Structure 1
Amino acid sequence: MEVWKAFKLKNFQVLFILVLVMLLSGTIFYVTQEGLSWIDALYFCIATLSTVGHPSIEPQTTLGKVFTMIYIIAGTGLFIGLIGYIAYALTKQPENKKNN
């Protein structure tokens, strides 16, 4: 299965949309509450969800810290699920090749 075929899977579509919503909501939060630029906020969200992290950007307010804790717990699972579907699509062999 090619990677693009993963987009046809309903579960992948749902996870993809949820990850986009997480990225958008996190970016908006960090721009409005923490005063980050749009690009820094998006970068921080992607680094956080991918568990890479970013040492020079961190929440400064109590609300920001609480939001980040919830964001990490909720978002990391979604992001890992999405990556799992992509990995599945990359490694799955087509049925006709598998049976030969």
Structure 2
Amino acid sequence: MISFLITLQRMLRAILKGLKEPEFQVLLTLTVFTLISGTIFYSTVEGLRVLDALYFSVTTLSTVGYGDFSPQTDFGKVFTMVYIFAGIGIIVGFVTKIFELTTKNKIESKQKKAQKKSSLE
């Protein structure tokens, strides 16, 4: 549990730092827009509750796909096919950027510790 909290803390730090970078801002905006558009579509066309529609959007784009929800209309199935191909690229880009920022922060932290240690010697 402690390792999970440490990892979560590192990820949140990276996200906060990333908010200053234009590339991260664009990826975050695209990710949020993609999830909102999927949520709106599935709640209106497929008749899902908003929370269920968001849940379905997240599980679809994260490629988890539990199978508890699926599009029932032909229009919903066509939308989902397009949504998957467009959305997965955006989500992968966003997650990759978070990973890069987390790794960068970890490296910078180690460098600072090494500089402190060398300055004390």
The amino acid that maps onto 2:45 is: Q
Aligned pairs, number: 100
Aligned to 1:12: 24
Which ranges in structure 2 are unaligned for 5 or more consecutive residues? 1-9, 116-121
1:44 aligns with 2:56: yes
Structure that is richer in helix per residue: 2
Pairwise CA distance, 1:94: 2.1
Instruction: Say whether 1:76 aligns with 2:88.
Output: yes
Whichever of the two has the greater Rg, that structure is: 2
User: Is 1:25 the equivalent of 2:51?
Assistant: no
Identity %: 48
How far apart in 1 are the matches of 2:38 and 2:110?
43
Please report the TM-score for the alignment, with normalisation by the length of structure 2: 0.76
Quote the residue 2:111 is aligned against: 97
Q: Secondary structure at the match of 2:19?
A: helix
| Whole-angstrom distance in 2 between the partners of 1:58 and 1:44 | 8
SS in 2 for 1:65: helix
Secondary structure, in 3 states, of the residue corresponding to 2:98?
Answer: helix
2:75 to 58, 63, 66: 63
CA distance in 2: counterparts of 1:52 and 1:26, whole angstroms: 16
Distance 2:32 2:109 in 1: 31
TM-score, normalised on structure 1?
Answer: 0.91
Match of 1:54 in 2: 66
Deviation at 1:96, TM superposition (A): 8.6
Q: RCO (CA 8 Å, sep 6+): is it higher in 1 or 2?
A: 1
Post-superposition offset of 1:13: 0.4
Which residue identity is paired with 1:46? Answer: V
Tell me the C-alpha RMSD between the 2 structures.
Answer: 1.9
